[in-house]
Each structure stands twice: as structure tokens, then as C-alpha cells.
Amino acid sequence: MNERKRALITGITGQDGSYLSELLLDKDYEVHGIIRRSSCFNTDRIDHIYKDPHNEEARLFLHYGDLTDGTTLRRILEEVKPIEIYNLGAQSHVRVSFDSPEYTVDAVGMGTLRILEAIRDYQHRTGIEVRFYQAGSSEMFGKVQEVPQKETTPFYPRSPYACAKVYAHWQTVNYRESYDLFACNGILFNHESPRRGETFVTRKITRALARIVKGMQKEVYLGNLDSKRDWGYAKDYVRAMWLMLQQDAPDDYVVATNETHSIREFLDVAFNYVNLDWHDYVKFDERYLRPAEVELLIGDPSKAKQKMGWEPSVTFDQLVKLMVDADIQALEKSKKIAQGFD
Ligand code: NAP
Ligand code: GDD
């Protein structure tokens, strides 16, 4: 009998971690995730796929750990014995990284190095290959040196977060070349979904819009509306992560839609969809500006398409609308529960 494939995911409670877990469970993997201890439950995004480990059918297992704690990462690797590791854990908010640069760099940059070192030793000792995915970011292109950005475009990071991701990127390349690790960098452009964290601009807008529609909120405060992003759908992007680890050889890939839109355009599509004019609701607060901004991101995903057959399946318009719909539905559901109708 074939033994089930085992994967380990850091950042399993995040947007991408939850979609990737679903995808791997669908492919019959046993999935292990690292979660941080928190004073209240922080597993909302994966509760629907979690089964009590005493249940024979359980295939998703959680382990307490932190990217800043190398000893625990090593212990979990030894216990789980995964054949694939997806390093998605991060303090992933760019604005917050200016407030907490040391912690961000520790978790994002050193955290990646800690895992690479653990894999290097484990693989050397056991001879078992562990394939590694590093969650790189289009933020690494920062002040862009080329349009559109591709795998060979030079990096010019503009935040502590982006600097740490560049460090993690080159360490991943370095471990691949020095120790023959099957290590891949995904250079993923912005990807969103109804599970997107509430303080990223897309979700902040769709969540506020839902509350405005329901008469629960009158305005929303935003920062720079002129920056442009290449926005895709998170479910499409986790498929690219998995594909990278299924190739014959490790490599680095840009994952993007090759379309770019400003925050204003996002507001246009979202508010027009519910027949409102965003100018009546959106207010400016300089608190949401960044010390240095990334003005324009647009990725060229042709390598991912040619080598892995990866393509995005959701358009910008569809993405905005599905997020608006989901936030409105979530409010309706919570209202019903509060009224005891559900
Ligand atoms: P997310 O929703 O912010 O999730 C981040 C995950 O990392 C959460 O599970 C979080 O745990 C965990 N985490 C934070 N600090 C940690 C630490 N010190 N040790 C262990 N885990 C920690 O991010 P995402 O959108 O899913 O993104 C996944 C990865 O892709 C991140 O590395 C991000 O930087 C990168 N990325 C994202 C995008 C994008 O557009 N979404 C684009 C390019 C790259 P808690 O739930 O406990 O907070
Ligand atoms: N968060 C936020 N909140 N952003 C705002 C706001 C606001 O109120 N108002 C305007 N913006 C602008 C930001 O200045 C930025 O130019 C743009 O909206 C997008 O901001 P975010 O949604 O916070 O995402 P990000 O592009 O900075 O970073 C995300 O994508 C990266 C990939 O390019 C994160 O997911 C990163 O982890 C990821 O690496």
C-alpha cells in the first residue's frame, strides 16, 4: 500500500494556508500545520476542514510553533517527516512592517533561514528529500525596474517586509545551489479572497461596503488610492505553489494575472456593483500612508504558464464582486444567528 504524502505548512491559519490545506486534502495528502498559541481561537479559516485527531478520518494535524523558534521547527520536522514544506508564515502586512521591523525581519527572513537549516540537516542525516516552497512576494520588486516584472527583473524592496522577503528569496536560491535542496521561490503578486485579512485594502473595502449597504457604517478611511496592483484570486495562486513542488527540477516563478488596477478602480467596481458612488463614503486618513510606497506592480506569468501550465481563472471584475457578495452574505448570516433564526 502506498503511504500517504505528508505536507507541512507554516502559516496554515492564514488566507493562503487555508486554501492550500483544502487543495492538499483534496489530493489525499496528510496535512500538518504550524499554529501560534493565542489567547483566543485563531483557526477560523481552517475550522471547516479540521477533525478531532482521535477521529480515524483526521488528515489535518496542528502543531504549536513559531518561525522565531528554531528548536521547535526542527522538532516538528523530525516528528512529521514531511516530503513537502510550504513556508507561508509571515508578518505579512507591509504597513505594519514599518512599525515592527525587527520582528518582521525575524519571522520573515530569519524564519525562512531556520527552516532551510533544519531541512538541510534532516535531509543530510536521513537521505530523504524534502521539497521546499518559499512564499516570495511581488513587493520585492518595489520601485520597479522593469514593466511588467518577471523572474529576472532586479529587486528594489521598499519596506522592512520586502527587504526580509528578498533575504529569504536569496537564501532559498543559495540553499538550492549549495546543498542541492529542492527549493522553489514563488514570486506571487497580490492575491485576495473572502478570506483575505480584514486590514488589507481589498478586504477593508469590501467589508466596509457590506456594512454600508446594511446601514451599519457610514464611511471608510483609506490612504493612497493611486497605487496599482496586479490582483488575482488566492485559490488560483495556491495551485501554483503546489505545481512548483511537482516539477522535475526546482525553480523560481512569477505568479500574476498580467493586469494592473488602482485602488480607485477597485472602489469603482465594488461600489458600482451595489449602485453606490464611493466618493460619498471614502475618506482620507494619512495614517494609512507608508513611508515609502510601491506605486505599480504588474507581473508577467508566462514562465509559470509555459513550464507548469498555470493560468489564473478569475478576472479582476469577478474577484471584486465575489468578495463583495461574500461580505454581504457573511453579514446577513451573522445577523440571522444573532436573531436566532439560523
Ligand atoms: P496571512 O493571511 O497574513 O497569513 C500569515 C500566516 O502566518 C498566519 O497563519 C499567521 O498566523 C502566520 N504567522 C505570522 N507570524 C508568524 C510567526 N512568527 N510564526 C509562525 N507563523 C506566523 O498571509 P497570506 O496572505 O496567507 O500570505 C501567505 C504568505 O504569502 C505570506 O508569507 C505572505 O507574506 C506571502 N505573500 C502573500 C501575498 C498575498 O497577496 N496574499 C502575496 C505575496 C506573498 P496567525 O493566524 O496566528 O496570525
Ligand atoms: N492596507 C491598506 N489599508 N492599504 C491601503 C489603504 C488602507 O487603508 N489605503 C490605501 N492602501 C494602499 C497601500 O498604500 C498599497 O499601495 C495598496 O493599497 C495595497 O495595500 P495592501 O492591501 O496592504 O497590500 P500590499 O500590496 O501592501 O501587500 C500585500 O501584497 C503583497 C504582494 O505584492 C500583502 O499581502 C503582502 O504580504 C504581499 O507580499
Average pLDDT over residues 51-58: 94
Residues with beta carbon inside 6 Å of ligand 1? 10-17, 34, 36, 38, 42, 66-68, 88-92, 107, 135, 137, 188, 190-191, 197
In whole angstroms, give the CA distance from residue 320 to residue 99: 29
- Among left, alpha and beta (phi > 0; psi -120 to 50; other), residue 81 is left
- Cβ atoms of 77 and 8 closer than 8 Å: yes
In whole angstroms, give the CA distance from residue 43 to residue 35: 8
- Cβ atoms of 166 and 140 closer than 8 Å: yes
Look at the block and give the residue holding cell 527552516.
Answer: 115
If one compares 167 and 339, the residue with the highest pLDDT of the two is 167
pLDDT in tens, 199-243: 999 999 999 999 999 999 999 999 999 999 999 999 999 999 999
Residue 317 CA, chain-centre distance (Å), reads 20
DSSP letters for 107-132? IIIIHHHHHHHHHHHHHHHH----EE
Q: Is 139 a catalytic residue?
A: yes
In whole angstroms, give the CA distance from residue 205 to residue 324: 9
- Residue among 29, 133, 161, 233 flagged as catalytic: 161
Question: Does residue 342 carry a pLDDT above 60?
Answer: no
If one compares 338 and 100, the residue with the highest pLDDT of the two is 100
Q: Is 137 a catalytic residue?
A: yes
Residues with beta carbon inside 6 Å of ligand 2? 92, 94-95, 137-139, 189-190, 199-201, 204, 222-224, 227, 229, 263, 288, 290, 293, 297
Instruction: Give the up-direction half-sphere exposure of residue 9: CA atoms within 13 A in the CB hemisphere.
Output: 28
> What confidence score (pLDDT) does residue 341 get?
58
Cα–ligand 1 centroid distance for 139 (angstroms): 14
Interstrand relation of 6-10 and 30-35 (parallel, antiparallel or unpaired): parallel
Ligand whose nearest atom lies closest to the CA of 230: 2
Domain definitions of the chain by residue range: 6-196+232-259+293-313
- pTM (2 decimals)? 0.98
Per CATH, domain 6-196+232-259+293-313 is 3.40.50.720: yes
Which residues on adjacent β-strands are paired with residue 32?
Answer: 8, 61
DSSP letters for 305-327? HHHH-----S-HHHHHHHHHHHH
Longest dimension (CA), the chain: 63
Percent of the chain past pLDDT 70, that is, above it, reads 99
Smallest CA-to-CA distance from 278 within 194, 331, 198, 208 is with 208
Smallest CA-to-CA distance from 209 within 262, 267, 263, 265 is with 267
Rg (C-alpha) for the chain, rounded Å, is 20
Q: Is 117 a catalytic residue?
A: no
